[in-house]
């Protein structure tokens, strides 16, 4: 049985990938902070090892001796919330990612994959746009971009295959963050009018089950030292997505556009192209945005009921 390592395994994307790995008969060594294992399945093929990011340099001493295929690195402090704009934390995340890469080499992993982000593309565009005044969220994107560049160089030096998937915007059952889809669906449940920018900026969303499947396909079939975008393959202006959500889950609720200022970077549609991912790995998203929103809002309603 092939063995893999997943850091941040109890998180939204990490735990979804663990389930996908088990479906494909992998043994999983799951890393997360002590006490953070509630999202992991009760399966003898899952071995939970408590591990802080600061302990990545000691990882070889902590893990069982298996022949490891892949190291999936999802652990990242401050992906949402105020720490997203903390320069010290985001720089430290980049160093911890390099530490995880080196640990993967020491453990004999064939390749290392990190959860990259479309924010890398936005941050790069924001840095070079004349007169740009990037918002604090771009500090997180900058951290991902720094980690990406450093890992490419280090991986080439130490002799391990690096593959870098970049997620557009994952959403779905299991997410508890205050990001756009979750926040909007919760407002729909409570009949509150959600407010947005004009929604003209290009966007993409991809359901969590598709994200997990993409990560495994990229690990198995992706080319070393390539980046692969994980998206729906149907990027379009944000307003189009939100109107699709409205029709699917709250057709009688008003959605208000234009009252929130947009201060980000509007990436051209070609940046969201997933053709390389499809050609090299065979991945294609299967869950449409409307269906994904219906599944997610049903789950959020169940959570609300349990709180009563």
pLDDT in tens, 209-230: 999 999 999 999 999 999 999 9
Of the pLDDT bands very low, low, confident and very high (cuts 50, 70, 90), residue 265 is very high
Give the CATH fold of the 1-167 domain: Rossmann fold (3.40.50)
pLDDT of residue 137: 87
Instruction: Rounding to the nearest 10 degrees, give the CA dihedral for residues 300, 19, 120, 179.
Output: 10
The domain locations on the chain are 1-167
Give the mean pLDDT of the chain. Answer: 96
Cα–Cα dist 72/111, whole Å: 9
Q: What tokens does 248 get?
A: 């699917």
Q: Where are the alpha helices (DSSP H) in 26-136?
A: 59-62, 87-106, 119-128
Over residues 9-38, the pLDDT tens digits come to: 999 999 999 999 999 999 999 999 999 999
| pTM given for the model | 0.96
For the purposes of burial, counting CB atoms within 10 Å of the CB of 143, is it exposed (0-12), middle (13-18) or buried (19 or more)? Answer: buried
pLDDT of residue 85: 95
Q: Nearest 5 degrees, angle CA 95-CA 98-CA 85?
A: 35
């Amino acid at each position: 049985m092939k063995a893999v390592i997943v850091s941040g395994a109890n998180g939204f994307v990490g735990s979804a990938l663990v389930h996908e790995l088990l479906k494909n008969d992998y043994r999983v060594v799951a890393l997360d902070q002590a006490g953070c294992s509630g999202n992991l399945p009760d399966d003898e093929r899952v071995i939970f090892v408590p591990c802080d990011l600061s302990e990545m340099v000691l990882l070889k001493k902590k893990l069982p001796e298996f022949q490891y295929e892949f190291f999936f690195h999802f652990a990242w402090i401050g992906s949402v919330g105020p720490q997203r704009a903390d320069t010290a934390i985001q720089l430290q995340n980049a160093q911890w990612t390099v530490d995880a890469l080196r640990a993967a080499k020491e453990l004999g992993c064939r390749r290392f994959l990190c959860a990259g982000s479309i924010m890398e593309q936005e941050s790069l565009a924001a840095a070079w746009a004349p007169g740009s005044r990037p918002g604090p969220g771009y500090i997180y994107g900058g951290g991902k971009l720094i980690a990406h560049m450093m890992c490419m160089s280090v991986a080439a030096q130490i002799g391990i295959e690096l593959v870098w998937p970049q997620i557009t915007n994952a959403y779905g059952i299991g997410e508890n963050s205050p990001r756009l889809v979750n926040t909007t669906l919760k407002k729909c449940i409570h009949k509150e009018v959600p407010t947005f920018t004009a929604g003209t900026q290009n966007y993409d969303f991809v359901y969590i089950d598709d994200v997990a499947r993409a990560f495994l396909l990229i690990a198995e079939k992706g080319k070393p030292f390539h980046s692969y975008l994980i998206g729906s393959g149907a990027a379009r202006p944000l307003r189009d997505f939100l109107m699709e959500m409205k029709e699917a889950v709250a057709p009688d609720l008003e959605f208000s556009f234009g009252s929130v200022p947009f201060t980000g970077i509007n990436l051209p549609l070609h940046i969201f192209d997933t053709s390389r991912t499809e050609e090299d790995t065979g991945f294609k998203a299967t869950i449409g945005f409307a269906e994904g929103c219906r599944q997610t809002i049903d789950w959020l309603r169940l959570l609300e009921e349990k709180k009563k």
